[in-house]
Amino acid sequence: MSNPAAPAIPPFQPPRRALMGPGPSDVPERILAAMARPTIGHLDPAFTDMMEQVKTLLRYAFQTGNKLTFPVSGPGSVGMETCFVNLVEPGDQVIVCVNGVFGGRMVENVRRCGGVPIVVESAWGRAVDVDQVATAFAATPDAKILAFVHAETSTGAQSDAAALAEVARRHGALTIMDCVTSLAGTPVLVDAWGIDAAYSGSQKCLSCTPGLSPVTFSEAAIDKVRARGTPVQSWFMDLNLVLGYWSGEGKRTYHHTAPINPLYGLHEALVMLAEEGIENAWARHRAMHEALKDGLEKLGLEFIVPAAERLPQLNSVALPADIDDAAARARLLAEFNLEIGAGLGALAGGIWRIGLMGASARPENVDVCLKALAGVMGSRE
C-alpha cells in the first residue's frame, strides 16, 4: 500500500473582520506581536518571572489581593469547571442562579460534581432576583455555595453581584461568580463585593486570543479545598496540583506544558489594561455603549434588557419580524466584514447580540456596525 500524497493546501490567511459578537473581540496588533515572540520553556526562569507579573496584573484586573489568582490553561469553560470541581463535593447543596444559558451550565457542573443544585430561575434578559435568592437560602439553610453569572453573555443582563454575595455571606455560604464577559469592561470588584471564586476569559474585554481563563480564589475558598473529604474529580484542574506550578514559592513542579505564547499575549493585554487604567476602560465601554444605543434606537431596534440591568459591552436587541436572522448576519459578514452574534437557547432566532468588548469598543466599530445594520435593514423586502 502506497503512502498518501502530501495535500496541496496553502497557508491559511484569515480575513480581517470587525468582531462585534459575544466574543472573541478584536485583538490589537500589539498583542498579536507579543504572541509572535520566541518560545521558551515553561520552566525557564525568564518565563516564570513573567508568570508572576501576570498574576500581579490579574489581581489588578479583578481588583483583589487574592494570592491565588492565575490563568487556567483553557477557555472560560475550563475556568468555570476549575471553580466547581474544587469547591463542590458530593452532596453539597449549591444555590445556582439561572437567567440565561451560562447559569444553566453552572447547574450541569454542580450535578457532575455530585452536588445538589437548588435552582433560582429568573427571566432571560433580566438580572438575577436577589429576593428570590434570599428566599432560597431561607428554605435551604445548609447550602454551602451560591453560584451566579455576573454578566449573562446569552442576554446581556448584568446582575447585582455585591447584593448577591452579601446574601451568601449572611448564610455562611461561599460564592462562585462568572465574570467572563464583565472583567475589564464593567466594574468587577472581587474584594469589595466579597466574592470567593471568580472566573473569566481572555478573549472578551481583555482583547486577547481565546484559550486562557483567569481565576481568583479567596482564602475561605482555599480553606474549603484543603478541607475536602474527597479528591477533586479532575486531575488537570485540581488546585492542589496546579499550585505547585503557579505558586511561585520555591522550585516550581511540572504540572503541564503551559501555553507559552498565548500567555505572552495575555501579559501584553494586561499591561495595556494597566496603562489605560481600569476605571478608564470601564468608562470607555460605557461611552461606546451609549453611542451604539443611540444609533440602534434610531434604526428602530429595541433592547431586550431594561436600562438599569443592561451590560454595556453586550447589547441584545430584538429582531424586527421581517428580518431573517441568518440571512442578515450572513450579509453583514460577506458585505461588511462585520460579525455580530445570534441568540442562544430560548432566544435563538429572536435577537442579535452586539459586542463592544476590549479593542472592539471604539468609535470606528460603532460607526461600522450602525452603517452595516442600516444597509442590511434598509434593503429588506
Provide DSSP, 91-114. T-EEEEEESSHHHHHHHHHHHHTT
This model's pTM is above 0.85:
yes
Which numeric CATH code is attached to 18-24+278-378?
Answer: 3.90.1150.10
Mean pLDDT of 72-87: 96
Q: For residue 8, is pLDDT > 80? A: yes
Q: How far apart are the first and last CA of the chain?
A: 58
Q: Where in the chain is the domain with CATH 3.90.1150.10?
A: 18-24+278-378
The pLDDT value recorded for residue 381 is 42
Decide if pLDDT at 251 tops 90: no
Beta bridge partners of 175: 146
Residue 188 in this model has a pLDDT that exceeds 50: yes
Lowest mean pLDDT of 76-90, 231-245, 276-290, name the range. 231-245
Give the whole-number percent of the chain exceeding pLDDT 70.
97
Work out the angle at residue 313's Cα, subtended by the Cα atoms of residues 218 and 117, and round it to the nearest 5 degrees: 45
Contact in structure between 304 and 317 (CB atoms under 8 Å): yes
pLDDT of 359: 97
Mean pLDDT of 198-218: 98
Rounded CA-CA distance 84/76 in Å is 13
Q: Residue 1: its pLDDT value, please?
A: 73
Position 243 pLDDT exceeds 80: no
| Region(s) of the chain under CATH 3.40.640.10 | 29-274
Q: Using one digit for the tens of pLDDT, what is the confidence trace for 114-160? A: 999 999 999 999 999 999 999 999 999 999 999 999 999 999 999 99
Residue type (1 letter), 116: V
Mean pLDDT, residues 290-309: 97
Beta strands in 239-323 (DSSP E): 302-303, 314-318
Residue 42 has pLDDT above 90, yes or no: no
- A 10 A CB-CB count for 297 gives 12
CATH of domain 29-274: 3.40.640.10
Q: What is the pLDDT of residue 242?
A: 80
| 363, pLDDT greater than 70 | yes
DSSP string, 335-359: HH-EE-EEP-GGGTTTEEEEE--GG
pLDDT of residue 247: 67
**149: β partners:** 178
Least confident of 53-67, 105-119, 253-267, 309-323: 253-267
Q: How far is CA 230 from the centre of its chain?
A: 29
Mean pLDDT, rounded, for 367-377: 95
pLDDT of residue 147: 98
- Residue 253: pLDDT above 80? no
Q: Is the pLDDT of residue 250 over 80?
A: no
Beta bridge partners of 19: 339
Reported confidence tier of residue 80, pLDDT bands at 50, 70, 90:
very high
User: According to the model, what pLDDT value does residue 248 have?
Assistant: 57
Residue 152: predicted pLDDT: 97
* 249: pLDDT strictly greater than 60: no
